[in-house]
Amino acid sequence: MLAGLVYTEAVPLQFTTSYLEDSLALFRQYKSFAERAIGQLTDDQLFATLDPESNSVAVIVKHMAGNMRSRWTDFLTTDGEKPNRQRDSEFTAPPPNRQELLETWEEGWRCLFSALEPLGEADLGRTVTIRGEAHSVMQAINRQMAHYALHTGQIIFLAKHLAGPHWQTLTIPRNRSADFNANVAAGELSQR
């Protein structure tokens, strides 16, 4: 690796032709990116908003966790929008501190991984419902992957803004693409 190049990817993606393995790897990567961004924030910054219409990182985390609990609990047998979910409340009053917020976060991810890890490729065509609308398992996974990628991007944007000059990049550092590409070509780093 070239001196000064810092590239860390906590969850490297592996070469696969399995939709489920690839999906799980991407979910783990989004989780890692969000956690690494959150880890760069002070406790106060977790709850900061840019304006009255914006969500804080804490609110986004609460919403994502609430969505995960609803979508992935009894994934194959019940509607993904559980009757006890109060989606609108996910955008108010997040857990009051980092520890409780991260416990809520982990609970959501446990629901997701517990639902997806046991599935086989034959399950992808099965039908599940979300708000009464039929989806194949693959469609439901794709829907949630896009949703979590969107919110992970929001978390990263807010964290980068709030961390300011203390921000440490999560992927390829600015103006270091050529170095990264050379390291991938040399087999020293992976883009997966």
Residue 6 has pLDDT above 50, yes or no: no
Instruction: Could you list the beta-strand ranges (E) of the chain.
Output: 127-130, 133-136
2 part of a folded domain: no
Number of domains into which the chain is organized: 1
148 part of a folded domain: yes
179 part of a folded domain: no
129 part of a folded domain: yes
37 part of a folded domain: yes
Residue 4 has pLDDT above 90, yes or no: no
91 part of a folded domain: yes
88 part of a folded domain: yes
4: left (phi over 0), alpha (psi -120 to 50) or beta: left
Condensed to tens digits (0 to 9), the pLDDT of residues 85-139 reads: 999 999 999 999 999 999 999 999 999 999 999 999 999 999 999 999 999 999 9
Residues in the chain: 192
Residue 67 is part of a domain; what is its CATH number? 1.20.120.450
Find the domain containing 90 and state its range. 19-44+52-167
Residues whose CB is less than 8 angstroms from the CB of residue 82 and which lie 6 or more positions away in sequence, other chains included: 69, 70, 73
10 part of a folded domain: no
Average pLDDT score over the chain: 91
